[in-house]
């Protein structure tokens, strides 16, 4: 039972969680000589007591308070525009790299869209020598729907890592196409299974920083994309570990819950639909140039699912928005994850609803752990005084994985999720319905 803002915390995982080898430095500091731990214990050790603001006593109040509580750490970024390296996913996208504070230049009137606060492009020539042989941990981040690197919930998680006493992290935020002041330069827009830009940045980082352990962090829609990416990569995933926050997981279930409640339809679906409509209108000329989308019809939509019907369906060839939701959901891909993976959810989240969380899959896959709080709303978790609780387990999980675990000793072949099925019968989570010709790379 919750009492005065104190949320209950539940962990869901396989009966035999992934065993992890402690690194030499950690083992040397163990009085009991312990050399191993497991993923579930790492997640528990990373998760403090969840004491939230008692005045924000349910998910709706927590979520709606995000419109008021806009204070957050000031993170400075240098931006780089990447050209997509795949013919099918052609176009450009923006990646923001966290950097020390600098004097931000005046807005460039020549830019089609203003950059977010404390963000500027790399100075001429500065990006060419960005590669390094250092072994600092590096985090790749995905934001939520129509957001960007400037988001408050995101910055709360980044500052503790940037200021880490042990070793400051390197951080890059992959902005969805058209978001955070970036331009749309092709008909390839982002969607809930748009893993291609993240994949390109991961491979680029692997090449430029061969000694850095790479980690992933995703929020809301970005959490769904991050889960899809990690599942698609399977045992070959270049990331060492990942954590996702407020993942809708099963988009069809989440959307139906939103449509079947007054607040869901009239507040959340309408708010998200309007944000996406504004995003399209900010890029009106590019949309007309690169797509056949009907802007008049788009401007008549009121909800997110209507937006998906008018934009995602014609863009990608889905017959209905529900076909898109089923195909882009990350719930099945959870079974294919082969790196340490932690998901942070709130039971009272009105957007990424608890009913859409694939609890059974978490119980089957030893590489995954679900941490669910009884309170918190959607990407909210407001504490007394204005802090954001979710930043604590996120940063501590990443810190523990980077500093205490022998990352190279993590096995990638422990689980065969078909082992209990009949001979000759198999369940393949990666069998997508939307087929894309990968031979055009």
pLDDT given at position 202: 98
Q: How many CA atoms lie within 13 A of 63 on its CB side?
A: 22
The answer to whether position 56 is within a domain reads yes
Structure tokens at 212: 């850095």
pLDDT given at position 3: 75
pLDDT given at position 67: 87
The answer to whether position 130 is within a domain reads no
Q: Are residues 42 and 25 in the same domain?
A: yes
Q: Are residues 262 and 368 in the same domain?
A: no
Cα–Cα distance, 236 to 264 (Å, whole number): 39
pLDDT given at position 437: 64
The answer to whether position 41 is within a domain reads yes
Q: Are residues 349 and 313 in the same domain?
A: no
Percent of the chain with pLDDT over 70: 95
Q: What CATH number has the domain bearing residue 77? A: 3.40.50.1820
pLDDT given at position 422: 64
pLDDT given at position 199: 97
Which residues in the chain land under pLDDT 50?
417-418
Final residue of a domain: which of 305, 328, 351? Answer: 328
Burial of 304 by CB count in 10 Å (0-12 exposed, 13-18 middle, 19+ buried)? buried
pLDDT given at position 86: 87
The answer to whether position 208 is within a domain reads yes
Final residue of a domain: which of 274, 303, 328? Answer: 328
Q: Are residues 228 and 295 in the same domain?
A: no
Average pLDDT, the chain: 93
Q: Are residues 212 and 310 in the same domain?
A: no
SS3 172: strand
Q: Are residues 190 and 207 in the same domain?
A: yes
Q: What is the domain range of residue 347?
A: 6-125+137-249+338-413
The pTM for the full model equals 0.95
The answer to whether position 27 is within a domain reads yes
pLDDT given at position 141: 98
Q: Are residues 142 and 244 in the same domain?
A: yes
Q: What is the DSSP string of 324-373?
A: HHHHH--TGGGGG--S-EEEEEETT-SSS-GGGS-HHHHHH-TTEEEEEE
Percent of the chain with pLDDT over 90: 84
The answer to whether position 1 is within a domain reads no
Q: Are residues 288 and 255 in the same domain?
A: yes
Q: What is the DSSP string of 185-253?
A: -SS----TT--HHHHHHHHHHHHH-TTSPEEEEEETHHHHHHHHHHHHHGGG-S-SEEEEES---SHHH
């Amino acid at each position: 039972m919750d009492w005065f803002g104190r949320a209950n915390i539940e962990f869901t995982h396989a009966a035999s969680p992934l065993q992890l080898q402690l690194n030499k430095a950690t083992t040397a500091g163990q009085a009991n000589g312990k050399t191993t731990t497991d993923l579930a214990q790492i997640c528990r050790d990373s998760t403090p007591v969840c004491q939230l603001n008692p005045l924000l006593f349910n998910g709706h109040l927590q979520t709606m308070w995000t419109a008021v509580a806009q204070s957050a750490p000031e993170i400075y970024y240098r931006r780089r525009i990447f050209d997509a390296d795949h013919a099918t996913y052609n176009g450009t996208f923006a990646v923001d790299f966290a950097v020390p504070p600098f004097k931000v230049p005046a807005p460039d009137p020549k830019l089609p869209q203003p950059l977010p606060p404390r963000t500027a492009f790399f100075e001429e020539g500065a990006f060419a020598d960005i590669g390094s042989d250092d072994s600092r941990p590096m985090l790749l981040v995905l934001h939520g729907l129509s957001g960007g690197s400037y988001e408050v919930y995101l910055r709360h998680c980044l500052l503790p890592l940037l200021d880490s006493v042990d070793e400051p992290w390197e951080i890059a935020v992959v902005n969805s196409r058209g978001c955070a002041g970036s331009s749309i330069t092709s008909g390839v827009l982002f969607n809930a299974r748009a893993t291609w830009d993240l994949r390109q940045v991961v491979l680029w980082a692997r090449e430029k920083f061969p000694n850095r352990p790479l980690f992933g962090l995703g929020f809301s829609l970005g959490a769904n994309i991050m889960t899809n990416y990690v599942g698609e990569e399977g045992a070959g995933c270049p990331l060492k570990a990942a954590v996702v926050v407020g993942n809708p997981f099963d988009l069809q279930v989440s959307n139906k819950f939103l449509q079947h409640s007054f607040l869901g339809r009239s507040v959340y679906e309408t708010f998200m639909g309007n944000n996406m409509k504004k995003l399209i209108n900010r890029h009106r000329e590019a949309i007309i140039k690169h797509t056949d989308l009907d802007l008049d019809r788009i401007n008549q939509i009121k909800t997110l699912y209507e937006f998906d019907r008018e934009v995602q369906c014609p863009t990608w060839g889905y017959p209905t928005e529900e076909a898109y939701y089923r195909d882009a959901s990350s719930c099945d891909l959870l079974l294919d994850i082969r790196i340490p993976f932690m998901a942070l959810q709130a039971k009272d989240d009105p957007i990424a609803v608890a009913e859409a969380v694939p609890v059974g899959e978490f119980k089957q896959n030893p590489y995954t752990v679900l941490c669910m709080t009884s309170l918190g709303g959607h990407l909210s978790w407001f504490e007394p005084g204005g802090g954001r609780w979710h930043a604590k387990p996120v940063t501590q999980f990443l810190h523990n994985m980077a500093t205490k675990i022998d990352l190279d000793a993590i096995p990638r072949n422990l689980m065969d999720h078909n082992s209990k099925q009949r001979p000759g019968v198999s369940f393949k989570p990666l069998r997508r319905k939307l087929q894309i010709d990968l031979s055009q790379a």
